[in-house]
């Protein structure tokens, strides 16, 4: 019995050593709006840095929201840093405002761009990194494009739209609630023209509520396929074939807009970077399943791109 106990303890010890961290971790406050976490590989004094920008909603540095915890962006950061790439991921400004019970109702899309630019400037001034890359996830893809221009050494779009967000909304409604298709087109066209409206289906209030319309107008003023054309830097465009929110065709639109960009389509990867073998129900449930591992091909693909 004693032999088996010693054997078990030795196995636990060896497992602990094999999972030992290969990086340091530091929380950093960039501005009054932005707090984040820097992971730095221990065996590299001047690594490349990847700045990870979260998607839509009150998303924190780990890729989570109040009722959706998957830790996707935390796992992405840890995976890259295990491969020798420093990473910085940060809470969107609205996360901090919610914690302080002081939400600014006048937040604009361009505020997220300013925040990402501040993060990039902070690390460029430090001068401790070989090259700095921007990784923008979902809405963060467009934020990343705008902040990376003329400043970053490379850009990675991760599940980012290629079409204007207004057109993406029309496509999503056509698939999920086709009875509202024509009304959605009318509202989106109004917002694209910079005009607010009170005439929209109550069922679509989560997208078109009066308080949200100025933000949506600002967001719709940017066209990803036009912006990515202007990026003179290495670009990697990534999408999963099981993404319920951003279709592979969106990644292809970005690729068509910038012929020098690389395109990586990952079989069975969904919007929160997990590999899904089952149906849409499994896919949806995974958004709140933090026990899952993110796609190994994603880590490998980004690592190879940054190392090239």
Enumerate the domain spans of the chain.
21-164+224-307, 165-221
Burial class (CB in 10 A: 0-12, 13-18, 19+), 21: exposed
**Residue 304 φ/ψ, nearest 5 degrees:** -65, -40
Residue whose tokens read 């499994």: 282
Q: How many whole angstroms separate alpha carbon 245 and alpha carbon 65?
A: 16
Q: How many whole angstroms separate alpha carbon 43 and alpha carbon 149?
A: 30
Q: Tens of pLDDT along 40-75?
A: 999 888 899 999 999 999 999 999 998 899 999 999
CA-nearest of 41, 33, 2 to 107 is 33
The predicted structure's pLDDT at residue 105: 82
Residue whose tokens read 């001034």: 125
Confidence of residue 18 (pLDDT cuts 50, 70, 90): very low
Give the length of the chain: 308
The predicted structure's pLDDT at residue 172: 86
Q: Tens of pLDDT along 190-209?
A: 999 999 999 998 999 988 99
**Beta-bridge partners for 23:** 41
Confidence of residue 306 (pLDDT cuts 50, 70, 90): very high
Report the share of the chain in percent with pLDDT over 90: 82
The predicted structure's pLDDT at residue 138: 97
Burial class (CB in 10 A: 0-12, 13-18, 19+), 114: middle
Confidence of residue 12 (pLDDT cuts 50, 70, 90): very low
Q: Count CB atoms within 10 A of the CB of residue 117.
A: 16
**DSSP one-letter code for 88:** E
Residue whose tokens read 């990026």: 231
Q: How many whole angstroms separate alpha carbon 155 and alpha carbon 209?
A: 33
- Checking if the pLDDT of 16 tops 70, the result is no
Say which residue, 19 or 248, is predicted with more confidence: 248
The predicted structure's pLDDT at residue 175: 86
CATH class of the domain whose range is 21-164+224-307 = alpha beta
Lowest mean per-residue pLDDT among 48-62, 93-107, 143-157, 215-229? 93-107
Confidence of residue 2 (pLDDT cuts 50, 70, 90): very low
DSSP string, 125-172: HH---S-EEEEEETHHHHHHHHHHTTT-SEEEEES--SS-HHHHHHHH
93 CB contacts (<8 Å, ≥6 apart)? 33, 34, 107, 111, 112, 115
Q: How many whole angstroms separate alpha carbon 26 and alpha carbon 97?
A: 22
Q: How many whole angstroms separate alpha carbon 217 and alpha carbon 25?
A: 38
0.85 surpassed by pTM: yes
């Amino acid at each position: 019995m004693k032999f088996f106990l010693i054997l078990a303890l030795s196995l636990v010890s060896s497992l602990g050593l094999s999972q030992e961290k290969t990086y340091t971790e530091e929380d950093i406050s960039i501005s009054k709006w932005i707090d984040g976490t820097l992971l730095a590989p221990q065996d590299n004094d001047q690594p490349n840095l990847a700045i990870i920008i979260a998607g839509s909603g009150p998303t924190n540095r780990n890729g989570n929201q109040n009722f959706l915890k998957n830790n996707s962006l935390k796992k992405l950061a840890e995976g890259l840093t295990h491969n020798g790439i420093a990473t910085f991921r940060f809470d969107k400004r609205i996360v901090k405002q919610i914690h302080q019970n002081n939400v600014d109702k006048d937040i604009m899309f361009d505020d997220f761009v300013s925040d990402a630019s501040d993060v990039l400037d902070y690390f460029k001034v430090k001068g401790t990194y070989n090259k700095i890359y921007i990784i923008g996830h979902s809405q963060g893809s467009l934020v990343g494009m705008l902040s990376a221009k003329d400043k970053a050494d490379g850009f990675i779009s991760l599940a980012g739209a290629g079409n204007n967000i207004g057109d993406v909304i029309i496509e999503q409604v056509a698939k999920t609630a086709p009875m509202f298709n024509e009304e959605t087109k009318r509202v989106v066209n109004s917002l694209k023209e910079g005009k607010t409206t009170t005439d929209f289906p109550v069922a679509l209030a989560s997208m078109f509520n009066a308080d949200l319309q100025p933000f949506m107008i600002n967001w719709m003023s940017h066209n990803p396929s036009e912006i990515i054309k202007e990026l003179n830097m290495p670009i990697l465009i990534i999408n999963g074939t099981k993404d319920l929110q951003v279709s592979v065709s969106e990644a292809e639109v970005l690729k068509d807009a910038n012929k020098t960009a690389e395109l990586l389509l990952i079989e069975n990867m969904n919007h929160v970077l997990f590999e899904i073998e089952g149906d849409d129900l499994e896919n949806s449930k995974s958004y709140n399943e933090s026990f899952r591992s993110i796609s190994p091909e994603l880590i490998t693909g980004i690592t190879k791109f940054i190392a090239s």
